[in-house]
Amino acid sequence: MIAADQRALTSRPVRLLGLCGSLRQQSRSRALLDATGLVTGGSAWPGPVAFRIFDHLGQLPLFNPDEMALPSAHVLALWAAVDDADALVIASPEYAHGVTGTIKNALDWLVGHPPFAGKPIAVFNPSHRADHADLSLKETLRTMAADLIPGACLRIPVTACDLSAQQLSSTSPYRELMTEALQAVVRHLWERSDSPGQKGQPIEHSKHLNAKETA
């Protein structure tokens, strides 16, 4: 990471962007992302994280490479949101042993968008049983040169329960799994900003996390 990025990371909250692969109103994947936002905003979370969800994956046109030069407003909004984020958090279900069209379409729009390469990403598998989509999603992300964050790609099995986002954010093991993943994201961002010979200052909540871990 370049020095300007290092300085930026020390002086503002970490910015996380959630992408949900389901458009369903009662989506469990969405509930998981909403819960993640609640965890980052909760009193037990030790530092400043700005978490938002990109709400317009359903409005993206079907990917057409011909339109990359003159993209729609929603595609531009997706690109801007991704550019602005320090890391992405993806939660997406499995449909017929594959990823959903929703998430694949969004990713296709990002293949030719250079700032996506190297973007740190946490992948939450929301299912207790689905493995095909999870593996396929990660394969696609690796192919797109995404930076899958070790320790932040977790199975957080919410599809078979009916807890609300609020309940998930305060119930074991969901709360602990989300916290573990978020801590891994923050640690990873800090390590990326810490290039040899050019050590940056820890972002404030990294200090808190370290203190918590060694307590």
Ligand X SMILES: Cc1cc2nc3c(=O)[nH]c(=O)nc-3n(C[C@H](O)[C@H](O)[C@H](O)COP(=O)(O)O)c2cc1C
Residues lying near ligand X in the complex (CB under 6 A) are found at: 22, 24, 27-29, 93-97, 127, 129-130, 159
Q: In the bound complex, what is the minimum distance in angstroms from residue 102's beta carbon to ligand X?
A: 10
Nearer to ligand X, 76 or 160 (CB): 160
Task: Using alpha carbons, select from 10, 17, 3, 138 the residue that is nearest to residue 83.
Answer: 17
Nearer to ligand X, 98 or 173 (CB): 98
Task: Using alpha carbons, select from 66, 63, 33, 67 the residue that is nearest to residue 51.
Answer: 33
Q: In the bound complex, what is the minimum distance in angstroms from residue 59's beta carbon to ligand X?
A: 17
Q: In the bound complex, what is the minimum distance in angstroms from residue 25's beta carbon to ligand X?
A: 9
Nearer to ligand X, 61 or 98 (CB): 98
DSSP letter at 177?
H
Question: By the 8 A CB rule, do 41 and 169 touch?
Answer: no
Q: In the bound complex, what is the minimum distance in angstroms from residue 169's beta carbon to ligand X?
A: 17
Q: Give Rg (Cα) of the chain.
A: 17
Nearer to ligand X, 86 or 134 (CB): 134
3-state secondary structure of 28: helix
56, burial (CB in 10 Å: exposed 0-12, middle 13-18, buried 19+): middle
